[in-house]
């Protein structure tokens, strides 16, 4: 089987040999459908065959959960089973799902201050696989939302990173509404709190980042439409670059 393939967009369309290879950690997922369809319990046994029977039994039970809860539960199981050093073990694995478990292990670590937690997630937020990058912000979002002022202070410098993936993480992790995650009421009510972060990205050259900024503002527009309109008017003054024009066009798409 060739690993260069077009991934299926529906679980029912994933060929049996591809699903088996995914569940064995032999190939990376190519679509969300593949992320959700692979057998994480089987993958766990392939990667960590020496885990206790109790841990494996709990992992089997976790596989009945929705995908986000499943990933979170796997991270919570692996942290005590492997210890903090297990994060590095998972991070070094070929299988993107296993690296995703590392994200949730970072999220599950008790007692970490936010700067340390962000430092621990940084390489995973910059991972080459799209899925791992999504798991990274999802795993840290609850911690960021609980300490919003600190989160904004810590993430704003990420907007100057040379990596578009890290710049995008800084924005995506704090979307007021987000995807597959709890909303952040404080940002729905007062999105201007995130203005330093958004201002820094308003002319970002990366489409990947532009889409995140636009989606952030589109989220905010559902609760504070006038604020988003006013901000876009400010950004569009004085011949802004095409990147800013694109962001504003997409940000206002639900208000037109």
Please compute Rg for the chain using Cα positions: 19
Tens-digit pLDDT profile for residues 105-133: 999 999 999 999 999 999 999 999 999 99
Q: pLDDT at position 1, please?
A: 39
Residue 189 has pLDDT above 90, yes or no: yes
CA distance 72 to 136: 11
**Rounded mean pLDDT of 165-173?**
98
The answer to whether residue 12 scores a pLDDT higher than 90 is no
CA atoms within 13 A on the CB side of 143: 23
CA distances from 150 to 43, 145, 202 (A): 36, 10, 21
221, containing H or E segment: helix 207-221
Are the C-beta atoms of residues 193 and 220 closer than 8 Å to each other?
A: no
Residue-averaged pLDDT of the chain: 95
State yes or no: pLDDT of 134 exceeds 80.
yes
* pTM of structure: 0.94
Q: Which domains, and CATH codes, for the chain?
A: 147-256 (1.25.40.290)
Give one DSSP letter per residue of 78-110, joined into a string: HHHHH-TTHHHHHHT-SSHHHHHHHHHHHHH-T
Average pLDDT of the residues in 211-231: 97
Residue count of the chain, please give it.
Answer: 256
Distance CA 111, CA 91 (A): 21
**What span, in angstroms and rounded, lies between the C-alpha atoms of 122 and 88?**
13
What is the CA angle 72-91-50, rounded to 5? 75
CB 171 within 8 A of CB 198: yes
Q: Could you give the percent of the chain with pLDDT greater than 90?
A: 91
Higher-pLDDT residue of 6, 135: 135
Q: How far is CA 202 from the centre of its chain?
A: 21
In the predicted model, what is the mean pLDDT of residues 42-56?
97
Q: CA–CA distance from 233 to each of 99, 192, 237 (Å)?
A: 41, 15, 6
Mean pLDDT of 208-233: 97
Tens-place pLDDT, residues 66-96: 999 999 999 999 999 999 999 999 999 999 9
Residue in the structure block whose two tokens are 């596989």:
63
pLDDT at 148 > cutoff 60 = yes
Calculate what percentage of the chain has a pLDDT beyond 70.
97
Q: How far apart are the first and last CA of the chain?
A: 47
């Amino acid at each position: 089987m060739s690993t260069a393939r077009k991934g299926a967009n529906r679980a029912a369309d994933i060929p049996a040999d591809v699903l088996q290879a995914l569940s064995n950690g032999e190939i990376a997922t190519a679509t969300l459908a593949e992320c959700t369809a692979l057998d994480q319990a089987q993958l766990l046994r392939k990667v960590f065959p020496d885990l206790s029977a109790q841990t494996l039994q709990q992992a089997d039970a976790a596989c009945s959960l929705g995908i986000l809860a499943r990933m979170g539960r796997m991270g919570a199981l692996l942290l005590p089973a492997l210890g903090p050093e297990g994060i590095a073990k998972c991070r070094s694995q070929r299988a993107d799902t296993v690296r995703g478990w590392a994200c949730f292990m970072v999220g599950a670590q008790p007692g970490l201050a936010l700067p340390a937690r962000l430092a621990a997630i940084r390489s995973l937020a910059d991972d080459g696989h799209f899925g791992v990058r999504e798991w990274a912000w999802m795993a840290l979002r609850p911690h960021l939302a609980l300490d919003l002022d600190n989160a904004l202070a810590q993430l704003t410098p990420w907007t100057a990173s040379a990596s578009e993936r890290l710049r995008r993480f800084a924005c995506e992790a704090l979307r007021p509404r987000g995807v597959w995650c709890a909303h952040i009421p404080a940002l729905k009510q007062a999105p201007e709190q995130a203005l330093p972060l958004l201002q820094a990205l308003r002319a970002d050259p990366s489409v990947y980042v532009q889409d995140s900024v636009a989606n952030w503002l589109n989220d905010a527009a559902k609760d504070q439409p006038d604020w988003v309109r006013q901000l876009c008017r400010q950004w569009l003054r004085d011949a802004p670059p095409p990147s800013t024009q694109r962001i504003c066009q997409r940000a206002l798409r639900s208000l037109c």
